[in-house]
Structure 1
Amino acid sequence: MPKLEEADITAGHNIKKLLELVTSVKRLSLHTINIGREALTAVYGEDIVFNQLEHLKFCIYDDVYWSKLLYRLLIASPKLRNLEFNEQLSNDGADTLVCWKRLTSVPQCLLSSLQTFKWSIYNVSVQGKDLATYILKKSCQLKIATISIGQGLDPQKKLEMETEVKLLFRGSPTCNLVFK
């Protein structure tokens, strides 16, 4: 589908086949539901590139194997300007496939084009927090980072998290941090 500019996909299986069909999009919303370990072995390789992708909305729902897919999407999207990460986990989301703290390579989009990052949180997970930290530290062109914390989170934990994020080093000196 070379002329497709926008896609909204909900998937748990056959992710590679679906993504291969939409490589020309400028806007992609990807909702993952229960990606199993077996599905991740075939997520996709370096053969898929999203040369036109500027906006990625990545939503996870009770999914503990999301990090590898998101990391591959970041690598495959050199022109990405806007990233929305919507985390709707009912548990801690203990995904250990990608350790955001230990990554040595940085996707090109973080170095040259990412300008906005939105993190919507229902229940704060360690992996989600690590991802947000990684994005803030590595994004050189980031102009605004918006963090929306769900109403169900304990007010004390919410305050602690806001304080922790505010103290983080940011790769972009002009990044404006907004909490909602």
Structure 2
Amino acid sequence: MSLKTLSLQKSSQAFEGDDDGFLIDAPKLRRLDIEDYWGCFCFAENMPEVVEANVDVIYKNTEKLLGSLTSVKRLSLCLITSEAAYPAGTIFSQLVHLELCTCAPRWWELLTRLIEDSPKLRVLVLRQKHSRRAPSPRAIWKQPVSLRKGLLSDLEIFKWELYEGSQKQKEVAIFILKHATRLKLAYISPKSTSTLLEKHEMLKELSCTSRGSTSCELLFDCQ
């Protein structure tokens, strides 16, 4: 009987040394859940049938892991870095639902790559699941290098939870609203610590943004 579901959780350091980690070889695996705040590595190979994955790790290099998830349809990600997240040329050809955590520094760079490499994406959810893992560096957000025809053309639902309205966040939100030509719903929920005035200012800024979809409904939680 082949393994279909795998859940790995490591919240404390059980061993010391660089050889502590996981090696996954599961050709029939359908679902992967991994949460590891202490491990040194996780290598994965031969996982051609995974359709759902939740990856919340602090590995500096996740190329082996994410590079093995090209069949995934639903993906939840929280990484500490966007560098070497997955190999260049990787295409998530089946990915339709993506949830990306915004707690990591330069998270927007990983989002840019995933937008370019996920041609069937229909649902995009951005949320801060943890406290900031490091101060956000002063770096500009770069739009996808090549605005290929059809980029974000399948996106139907866009949600942003704990939206703060920073300059980078505004640029990302405006880009998505502008280029998602079939977007049906955009739901923005600000952080609870934002004042009512700040929330209304965020709403005003995004409401005035031109949208690629004439049928897009913009919902904003001002409570």
Instruction: Compute the TM-score of the two structures, normalised by the length of structure 1.
Output: 0.84
Question: Corresponding residue for 2:90?
Answer: 48
List alignment gaps of at least 5 residues for structure 2. 1-46
Q: RMSD of aligned C-alpha atoms?
A: 2.3
2:44 aligned with 1:3: no
Shift of the alpha carbon at 1:111? Answer: 4.2
2:143 aligned with 1:96: no
| Aligned mates of 1:175, 1:120 — CA distance in 2 | 18
| Aligned mates of 1:92, 1:171 — CA distance in 2 | 33
Aligned with residue 76 of structure 2, among 1, 20, 29: 29
| Aligned mates of 2:88, 2:204 — CA distance in 1 | 38
Question: Corresponding residue for 2:161?
Answer: 120
Letter matched to residue 98 of structure 2: L
* Secondary structure at the counterpart of residue 23 of structure 1: coil
Question: Corresponding residue for 1:150?
Answer: 191
| Aligned mates of 2:152, 2:163 — CA distance in 1 | 28
| Aligned mates of 2:170, 2:163 — CA distance in 1 | 12
2:61 aligned with 1:14: yes
| Aligned mates of 1:148, 1:108 — CA distance in 2 | 30
Q: Which has the higher helix share?
A: 1
Aligned length: 172
| Aligned mates of 2:200, 2:163 — CA distance in 1 | 15
| Aligned mates of 1:83, 1:56 — CA distance in 2 | 5
| Aligned mates of 1:119, 1:3 — CA distance in 2 | 29
**Alpha carbons of structure 1 residues 8 and 71: separation in structure 2 relative to 1, 3 Å:** same
* Secondary structure at the counterpart of residue 193 of structure 2: coil
Question: Corresponding residue for 2:220?
Answer: 179
| Aligned mates of 1:16, 1:95 — CA distance in 2 | 25
Letter matched to residue 62 of structure 2: I
**Alpha carbons of structure 1 residues 3 and 109: separation in structure 2 relative to 1, 3 Å:** farther
Q: CA offsets, 1:26-73, max 9 Å, x none?
A: 0000012x32xxx61x23443211010000000121x22212211111
Aligned with residue 79 of structure 1, among 107, 120, 125: 120
**Alpha carbons of structure 1 residues 107 and 58: separation in structure 2 relative to 1, 3 Å:** farther
Shift of the alpha carbon at 1:159? Answer: 0.8
2:100 aligned with 1:58: yes
| Aligned mates of 1:21, 1:113 — CA distance in 2 | 24
* Secondary structure at the counterpart of residue 102 of structure 2: strand
Please identify the structure whose Cα radius of gyration is greater.
Answer: 2
| Aligned mates of 2:154, 2:162 — CA distance in 1 | 24
